[in-house]
Amino acid sequence: MKKAAMLFLMLLGFACRSWASVSVELFNRHFFEPPSMPAQDKNYFSAEIKGEWSWQWDHVDLTFEPIVSVAEDDALNYFDFQQLLLHYRLASSEFFAGIGTVFWGVTESYHLTDIVNQVNLVADISREHKRGQPMVGYRRYLGDHSLELYWLPYFREQVSAEKNSRPWNNLPITGDPEYERGGEQWSQDAAIRLSGFVESVDYGISYFYGTERNPLFLINPSGTALTTRYIKTNKFALDSQITLDSTLIKAEMIYSLPETQDNEFAIVSGIEHGFYGLADTDYDASVFLEGLYSNNRQGVALPYKQHVMIGLRLDSNNESSSNVMFSLINDIDNNDRTIYINSQHRFTNKLSAEVDVWYFDIRKKSSDLLYLKQEGYIQLGIKYYL
C-alpha cells in the first residue's frame, strides 16, 4: 500500500508544476460564563492539521486540501476534505469535478448569497469554516463576466453540537436529521450563477434549487431534546459592490421559496470607507456600517432579522501583516448585542497567531441567537507551517 501511494504521488509530480503546504494550528477556547449543561466545560483545547497540494498540467489542475481536527469538544473530532477538485481548462471555459469550496458574497456581517457549501458553526460562529461540497460544474468566461453551473449530488449536514459542545445553550440535539426530500442526503441540488463587473459595479446573480443549508430545530414531544429538519427550497440571490474611490457600497439579498414554510426576503447592505496612510504611516483603517433585515421571523436564511452592524478594521501593511477588526451587531427590536473582535499577527513566514473574541448580550427568549446566551468566549490560535 505504501509503495502504491508513493508511486501515485510520483506520477502526479511527473511533468507538472506543483505546490504544497502543511500547517498545524493549536487552539485554546475559554468561555466567560459557566456551562449550562453538565457535560460542558469552560475551557477547550483543539488541534488542526491542514494540508494543501496543487498540481498543474497543460490543461488540468488538481487541488487537494485535507483537514484533521482533534479536540476536547466531540463535535470537532473529524477528518474531512475541504477540496479534492479536478479542473479541465479550455481557452474560455473549464469543467470541474470532485469536492470543492465556493465563496459568494461581499458584505462583512453575514453572507446571505453564500449558499453552496455547508458550514461548521461549532468550529466557527462566523460561518467561515466550510465543509467540502461534492460537485460537478462548468464555468464559461464571457469577457468581463462568467457563467457557472453546479450539480451538487450529495448534501452535507451542518455539524451539530454534541453533549459537551460549546457554544451551545439549548436542549441537546439527538437522533437522525429529518428531510423533506425523499432522497435525503442523496437528493440532487443545482445552482447557476452569472457574475462579473460593469465599470465600477461588481455583481453576482444566482439561483439555487435543493436542500436548505440552515436547518430548522424541532423540539421533541417530551420537550427534552431537539432534532434537525432540512427543508426543500428555491433561492434567488443577488450580490453587488460599487467602488467609489475609497468607498464601497455593498449589498446581498435573497428571495427564498421553501415548499413548506413561508417565503422569505432578506437583505444585508451597507457602506465601507477606507482611510489610507494614517498620519503618514503604513496603517490603513476602514469603517463600515451595515443593516440586516428579514421579513420572516420564522425563516432560516438570516438569524439577524432587524439588526444594525458597525465596525472598524485596522491594517498595518507591514511584514507582520498585523490587523484587528471590531464589530457590533445590535438588534433594533430586542436590543440584543453581538460583539466580535478578531486580531491576526504573523511572527515569521512560518508562525502566526490569531485571537477571536465573541460576546453575546441576548435579552429575549424570542431571539434567534438564544442558544448563544452566556456563550461568549475568547479563542487563541497559533499556526505553524511545516
6 located within any domain:
no
165 located within any domain:
yes
pLDDT score at 125: 85
Q: Domain limits at 174?
A: 17-385
**17 exposed, middle or buried (CB, 10 Å; 0-12, 13-18, 19+)?**
exposed
CATH number for the domain that contains residue 211: 2.40.160.100
- The set of cell numbers assigned to 169 is 445553550
5 located within any domain:
no
11 located within any domain:
no
pLDDT score at 30: 97
Strand arrangement, sheet containing 216-219: 178-179, 226-230, 216-219
Domains: count for the chain: 1
4 located within any domain:
no
217 located within any domain:
yes
Q: What is the model's pTM?
A: 0.89
85 located within any domain:
yes
Q: Return the number of other C-beta atoms located less than 10 Å from residue 155's C-beta.
A: 23
pLDDT score at 159: 87
pLDDT score at 95: 98
Q: Strand 226-230 vs strand 178-179: parallel, antiparallel, or unpaired?
A: parallel
State which residues of the chain have pLDDT below 50: none
Please, are residues 113 and 269 in contact by the beta-carbon 8 Å criterion?
no
72 located within any domain:
yes
pLDDT score at 7: 54
